[in-house]
């Protein structure tokens, strides 16, 4: 079964793996991870977030802290 849509959005309150984000970008699916979801929730137009799709999920310090906290 196939569906038609103007835009596909994958929203998550966490980060995406590199593989998941690459798959989404390759299939024109907009990924909204925790950082972008907050921007969208506060009124940033969805199409402006589409321009940065597949780029960035927090700074290096944040990712390091996340790994230390959640890798146990």
pTM: 0.61
**Predicted pLDDT at 13:** 79
Residues of the chain with pLDDT under 50: none
- The pLDDT of residue 62: 67
- How far from 44 is each of 41, 57, 60, 68, CA to CA, in Å? 7, 17, 24, 31
Model pLDDT, residue 11:
84
Look at residue 58 in the predicted model and tell me its pLDDT.
59
For the chain, the domains span 8-70
pLDDT value for 43: 92
Say what the pLDDT of residue 64 is.
76
């Amino acid at each position: 079964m196939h569906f038609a849509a103007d835009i596909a959005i994958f929203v998550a309150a966490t980060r995406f793996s590199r593989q998941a984000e690459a798959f989404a970008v390759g299939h024109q699916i907009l990924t909204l991870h925790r950082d972008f979801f907050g921007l969208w929730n506060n009124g940033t137009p969805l199409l402006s977030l589409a321009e940065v799709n597949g780029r960035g999920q927090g700074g290096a310090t944040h990712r390091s802290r996340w790994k230390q906290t959640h890798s146990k």
